[in-house]
């Protein structure tokens, strides 16, 4: 009924986030700009923290869309997992069969991919939505992923997005994430 009333062609309030309907308020524009700038400037870790319903997921979808030509991205939203499963999710998103690989082999395979992307002048961006649900051990795995680097550059840009609990979790973890990420 409201589609006809407002002369809309499609439902703008669907159940899945669609960056086409991102309302670019001043706050949303600033957040997207900060994330994009952080990726372009190889900051390594970036965080987007906001209350539920503020548009984090839609903003992340827009970021991934904006990076399509300049970066290889992996978007993860399944965050209730072990460190091993986290690695499996990453490699699965890269369309790699990981069923028979051990953790060391998965680590080495990811390193090969990151290095190949660097040689082809592309960034690699890992976007983790709902990161407030990451277990402490998985947060440590994420921190260790930031060690993928050469002497001159980070091979992996990590964007963590979540509710305010993410900042608390990261700050109290034994091997806390870099403070610049929060």
Question: Does 85 score more than 70 pLDDT?
Answer: yes
Question: Does 73 score more than 50 pLDDT?
Answer: yes
| 124, part of any domain | yes
What is the domain extent for residue 89?
21-181
In this prediction, what percent of the chain has a pLDDT beyond 70?
Answer: 88
CATH of the domain at 90: 3.40.50.300
Question: Does 171 score more than 70 pLDDT?
Answer: yes
| 82, part of any domain | yes
Q: What is the mean pLDDT of the chain?
A: 86
Q: What are the residue ranges of helices labelled H in the chain?
A: 2-5, 26-40, 56-66, 83-93, 103-119, 136-145, 165-172
Give the model's pLDDT for residue 19.
67
Q: How far is CA 37 from the centre of its chain?
A: 15
Please tell me the distance from the alpha carbon of residue 49 to that of residue 163, in angstroms, as a whole number. Answer: 5
Of 28, 35, 90, 30, nearest in space to 66 by CA: 35
pLDDT band at 182 (very low <50, low <70, confident <90, very high): very low
95-111 confidence digits (pLDDT tens): 887 778 888 889 899 99
| 27, part of any domain | yes
Is the separation of the CB atoms in 160 and 132 below 8 Å? no
| 38, part of any domain | yes
| 8, part of any domain | no
| 3, part of any domain | no
| 114, part of any domain | yes
| 4, part of any domain | no
Task: Quote the number of domains for the chain.
Answer: 1
């Amino acid at each position: 009924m409201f589609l006809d009333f407002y002369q809309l062609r499609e439902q703008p309030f669907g159940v899945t986030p669609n960056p086409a309907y991102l309302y670019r308020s001043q706050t949303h524009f600033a957040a997207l700009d900060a994330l994009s700038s952080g990726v372009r400037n190889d900051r390594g870790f970036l965080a987007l923290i906001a209350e539920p319903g503020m548009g984090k997921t839609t903003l992340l979808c827009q970021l991934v869309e904006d990076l399509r030509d300049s970066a290889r991205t992996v978007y993860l939203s399944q965050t209730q997992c072990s460190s091993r499963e986290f690695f499996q999710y990453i490699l699965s998103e890269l369309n790699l069969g990981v069923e028979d690989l051990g953790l060391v082999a998965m680590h080495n395979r990811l390193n090969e991919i990151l290095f190949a992307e660097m040689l082809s002048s592309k960034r690699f961006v890992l976007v983790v939505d709902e990161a407030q649900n990451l277990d402490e051990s998985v947060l440590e795995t994420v921190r260790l992923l930031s060690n993928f680097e050469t002497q001159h550059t980070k091979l992996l840009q990590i964007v963590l997005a979540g509710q305010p609990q993410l900042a608390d979790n990261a700050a109290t973890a034994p091997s806390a994430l870099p403070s610049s990420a929060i």
